[in-house]
C-alpha cells in the first residue's frame, strides 16, 4: 500500500503548525487515527501531532494553548479556529494498574514513540515537510489487508491497558477489519486487566462502535472473547445461552440508524422474557457505564415501548405503544420493531400512519395533552382544589385515550360536570 495522503488537501492550520515547529528547530509529525483515516481515503476528523519539543517549548511557540494533559506531555494548540493535540514523544514504563503508565519518559525518536501504541494501523506517523510516512511496524500493509494487529506482543500490549481489547473490537466494527488470530487469542487472557477499566471508558467505546455501519461485528467479538460477561454477567449470559435471540438483536442493531440509545435499546431488549425485567437490567448496566440522565431515561423507555409488535386491527395496542414511548420516542420504538420484523414493514408503517392520524385527532399521551386543565375544572365546573380534580382528569384522560375525538374542550367540560356528580 502506497501513501495516499495529499498534503495540499490538509487544512492550512496543519501546515502552519508544522512550519512553526520547524522554524524553532523542532519537528511535528501527524500521528494516530488521522493518519490511518487519510491512508484509507477517509476524511480526518481530528489532527493529532507528536513532537520532539518538550511541553513547555510547545507552549512557548504558540499564542493560544491549553495544558490539557501536560503531565503526560500533551498540549492543546488553538490555531486558525482549529484545535490540535500535540504530545511530546514519549516512552512508557510499567502499567501496574492496567490503565495508565506508572511513569513516562520523553524521548527523541519517533519510532520509539510509535512502539508504545496499540495497533499497527495506529502506529504510523506522517512527516508533512518531507511528505514521508514512518511505518516501522507494517501498519500500511495491515490497512491494505484489513487486519487489526497489535504493535509487538499482543498480551503485553493488552496487559498495559485493558481497554485495548475493547478498542480492538471497536476498530473491527468501525473499519470492518478482521482481528489477527494472535491478537484475538490474547483477549481472553487479558480480561482480568480489562475488568479494571472504568464504566465511562467502556461507554465511550460503545458509543463509537454503535456508530459503525455494522456494530454487530464489535458485539460478536465481545461475546465470543468474554468481554461482554466481564462488563455485565447478565448480558454475557444472554449472549452465551440465548444465541438465537442475541443474533436477532445484533441483526436488528445493524438495520437501525446509528444512534446510541436506539441501537442499545435493540441490543438489550431481549435480555429477559418480559420487557420490565429487561428495562431494569438495562438501567443497572447504564448506571455501571456512568451513562447520562438522558440515556438512563431513553433506553429503558424504548425497551418497554418496543416490547410487543402491535396488531393493526387493535388500536388499544398501538395507542399503548405511543403512550409508553411518548411524543418524542414512539417513532423510534416503531423503528426498533421494524428492525426486528423487517418482513412486517408494511404493517408497521400502517401502524405509524394510524398513530399519526390519532395524534392529529387529539390522542392524549399524557394528561397534559388534554384540552383542559385542573384550573378549568375549578373555574368552569366549580370544583374545589383537592383530590377530586386529579381523579376526574385521570378519568377524562382514559376516555380520550380510548377515543381521541373526545379530546375537545367543550366535550371534556360536559363530561367533567357529569363525573363531578357521581
Mean pLDDT of 394-419: 94
Residues 62 and 122 occupy one common structural domain: yes
Residues 61 and 191 occupy one common structural domain: no
Residues 76 and 214 occupy one common structural domain: no
Cite the DSSP H helix spans in 306-362. 315-325, 330-340, 345-360
Which domain CATH number covers 178?
A: 1.10.110.30
Residue 367: how many other CB atoms lie within 10 Å: 17
Residues 1 and 133 occupy one common structural domain: yes
pLDDT for 1: 46
Distance CA 268, CA 275 (A): 10
In a domain, residue 47? The reply is yes
Number of domains in the chain: 3
Distance CA 331, CA 321 (A): 10
Residues 84 and 155 occupy one common structural domain: no
Which domain CATH number covers 73?
A: 3.30.460.10
Distance CA 315, CA 8 (A): 60
In a domain, residue 266? The reply is no
The domain boundary, picked from 97, 127, 145, lies at 145
Residue 383 near residue 389, CB atoms below 8 Å: yes
Angle (CA) 267-235-344 rounded to 5° is 25
The domain boundary, picked from 145, 167, 196, lies at 145
Q: Which pTM was predicted?
A: 0.90
In a domain, residue 287? The reply is no
The whole domain housing 219 covers: 146-231
Distance CA 300, CA 336 (A): 13
Beta-carbon contacts of residue 399 (< 8 Å; ≥ 6 apart): 406, 415
In a domain, residue 269? The reply is no
Residues 75 and 165 occupy one common structural domain: no
Q: Which three cell numbers stand for residue 243?
A: 444465541
Phi, then psi, of 84 in degrees rounded to 5? -130, 130
Confidence of residue 3 (pLDDT cuts 50, 70, 90): low
Angle (CA) 64-42-254 rounded to 5° is 115
Confidence of residue 402 (pLDDT cuts 50, 70, 90): very high
Residue 260 near residue 268, CB atoms below 8 Å: no
- The pLDDT > 70 percentage for the chain reads 96
pLDDT for 94: 53
Residues 14 and 137 occupy one common structural domain: yes
How far is residue 211 from each of residues 186, 192, 263, 313, measured CA to CA in Å?
26, 27, 9, 36
Mean pLDDT of 154-159: 96
- 13-67 pLDDT, tens digit per residue, is 999 999 999 999 999 999 999 999 999 999 998 999 999 999 999 999 999 999 9
Residues 12 and 100 occupy one common structural domain: yes
Residue 52 near residue 27, CB atoms below 8 Å: yes
Distance CA 59, CA 21 (A): 11
Structure-model confidence comparison of residues 91 and 264, the more confident one: 264
The domain boundary, picked from 109, 126, 145, lies at 145
Distance CA 311, CA 289 (A): 36
Residues 161 and 124 occupy one common structural domain: no
In a domain, residue 225? The reply is yes
Residues 110 and 60 occupy one common structural domain: yes
Q: Which three cell numbers stand for residue 395?
A: 378519568
Residues 78 and 216 occupy one common structural domain: no
102, pLDDT greater than 60: no
In a domain, residue 178? The reply is yes
- 172-220 pLDDT, tens digit per residue, is 999 999 999 999 999 999 999 999 999 999 999 999 999 999 999 999 9
Amino acid at each position: 500500500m502506497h501513501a495516499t495522503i495529499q498534503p495540499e488537501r490538509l487544512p492550512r492550520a496543519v501546515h502552519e503548525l508544522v512550519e512553526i515547529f520547524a522554524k524553532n528547530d523542532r519537528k511535528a509529525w501527524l500521528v494516530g487515527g488521522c493518519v490511518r483515516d487519510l491512508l484509507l481515503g477517509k476524511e480526518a476528523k481530528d489532527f493529532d501531532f507528536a513532537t520532539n519539543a518538550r511541553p513547555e517549548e510547545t507552549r512557548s511557540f504558540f499564542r493560544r494553548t491549553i495544558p490539557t494533559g501536560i503531565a503526560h506531555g500533551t498540549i492543546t494548540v488553538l490555531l486558525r479556529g482549529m484545535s490540535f493535540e500535540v504530545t511530546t514523544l514519549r516512552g512508557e514504563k510499567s502499567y501496574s494498574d492496567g490503565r495508565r503508565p506508572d511513569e513516562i519518559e520523553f524521548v527523541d525518536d519517533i519510532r520509539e514513540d510509535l512502539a508504545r501504541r496499540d495497533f499497527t494501523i495506529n502506529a504510523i506517523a506522517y512527516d508533512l515537510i518531507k511528505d514521508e510516512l514512518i511505518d516501522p511496524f507494517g501498519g500500511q500493509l495491515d490497512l491494505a489487508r484489513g487486519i487489526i494487529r497489535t504493535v509487538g506482543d499482543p498480551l503485553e500490549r493488552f496487559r498495559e491497558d485493558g481497554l485495548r481489547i475493547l478498542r480492538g473490537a471497536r476498530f473491527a466494527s468501525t473499519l470492518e477489519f478482521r482481528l489477527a488470530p494472535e491478537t484475538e487469542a490474547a483477549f481472553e487472557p487479558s480480561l482480568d486487566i480489562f475488568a479494571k477499566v472504568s464504566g465511562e471508558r467502556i461507554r465511550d467505546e460503545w458509543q463509537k462502535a454503535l456508530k459503525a455501519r455494522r456494530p454487530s461485528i464489535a458485539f460478536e467479538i465481545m461475546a465470543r472473547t468474554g468481554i461482554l460477561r466481564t462488563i455485565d454477567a447478565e448480558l454475557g449470559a444472554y449472549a452465551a445461552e440465548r444465541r438465537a435471540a442475541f443474533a436477532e438483536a445484533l441483526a436488528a442493531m445493524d438495520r437501525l440508524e446509528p444512534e446510541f440509545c436506539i441501537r442499545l435499546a435493540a441490543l438489550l431488549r431481549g435480555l429477559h422474557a418480559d420487557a420490565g425485567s429487561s428495562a431494569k437490567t438495562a438501567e443497572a448496566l447504564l448506571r455501571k457505564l456512568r451513562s447520562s440522565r438522558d440515556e438512563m431515561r431513553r433506553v429503558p423507555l424504548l425497551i418497554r415501548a418496543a416490547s410487543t409488535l402491535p396488531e393493526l386491527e387493535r388500536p388499544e395496542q398501538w395507542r399503548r405503544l405511543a403512550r409508553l414511548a411518548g411524543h418524542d420516542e414512539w417513532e423510534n420504538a416503531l423503528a426498533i420493531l421494524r428492525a426486528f420484523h423487517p418482513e412486517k414493514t408494511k404493517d408497521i408503517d400502517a401502524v405509524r400512519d394510524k398513530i399519526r392520524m390519532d395524534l392529529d385527532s387529539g390522542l392524549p399521551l399524557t394528561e397534559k395533552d388534554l384540552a383542559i386543565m385542573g384550573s378549568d375544572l375549578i373555574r368552569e365546573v366549580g370544583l374545589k382544589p383537592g383530590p377530586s380534580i386529579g381523579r376526574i382528569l385521570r378519568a377524562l384522560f382514559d376516555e380520550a385515550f380510548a377515543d381521541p375525538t373526545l379530546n375537545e374542550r367543550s366535550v371534556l367540560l360536559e363530561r367533567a360536570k357529569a363525573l363531578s356528580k357521581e
